[in-house]
Amino acid sequence: MLFNKVSYRRGVIEGVIIYTFGRLGALISPAFFPGWLFVAAPLLFLLCMYVLPPVWAAKRMISTRRERLSKRFWWLGPRLAVCCVVIDVVLSLCVGLAVGPFGIQLGPALSRLQSSSTGIYHLSLSDYLGYELKMAVTLFAFFMMAVICTRLAGSKFLRFTMPAGGDRVTL
């Protein structure tokens, strides 16, 4: 491709920017969107949070001709996940937690952690840490898997030749 000429650092930065866009979009309640956007917008934000950052970063980075999965690509998924978990913690504490399909935004986690223990807005520390732990595990798993699959799909690893009569067809 024409635009696959960026450095490792720029690939990670672009992946983090895409994740941040998806995470900020996940703060919006789906009921805000009219008509068919009620379904499409949250799916776009989920795509920007979990799938696009590692695929975009791994696809755009420069690699040598024989390089498939070098050490830097093995570490791309975890490094990208660590950056995104830090962004998630900052956004959760300062702006709010990601909203589920039928949820509403209850405010920043920092103020919810300090609220009284009986209100609907209260968030216990164990609930918040559990949320962040689930997010971290999910990001590490998805990003690692997506980077590996993207790198293998970009190389000749998944291509094979099958006989088709007198000619051969390469897929």
User: Does some domain include residue 15?
Assistant: yes
As for how many domains the chain has, the answer is 1
Beta 161-164 vs 167-170: how paired, if at all? antiparallel
User: What are 163's strand-pairing partners?
Assistant: 168
User: Does some domain include residue 84?
Assistant: yes
Give the C-alpha separation, 41 to 115, whole Å: 31
3-state secondary structure 64-88: CCCCCCCHHHHCHHHHHHHHHHHHH
User: Does some domain include residue 1?
Assistant: no
Assigned token pair, 34: 């009219």
Coil, strand, or helix at residue 29? coil
User: Does some domain include residue 14?
Assistant: yes
The 10 Å Cβ neighbour count of residue 108 is: 17
User: Does some domain include residue 166?
Assistant: yes
Determine the pLDDT at residue 2.
Answer: 42
Q: Are 24 and 112 in contact (CB under 8 A)?
A: no
- Which residues constitute the domain of residue 50? 8-170
pLDDT band at 155 (very low <50, low <70, confident <90, very high): low
User: Does some domain include residue 72?
Assistant: yes
User: Does some domain include residue 3?
Assistant: no
The rounded percent of the chain whose pLDDT value lies above 90 is 35
* Residue 6: DSSP 8-state: B
Q: Where are the alpha helices (DSSP H) in the chain?
A: 8-25, 37-50, 52-60, 71-74, 76-94, 109-114, 125-154
User: Does some domain include residue 136?
Assistant: yes
pLDDT in tens, 92-149: 999 988 877 677 778 888 888 887 777 777 888 898 999 999 999 999 999 999 988 8
pLDDT band at 67 (very low <50, low <70, confident <90, very high): low
Give the C-alpha separation, 21 to 28, whole Å: 12
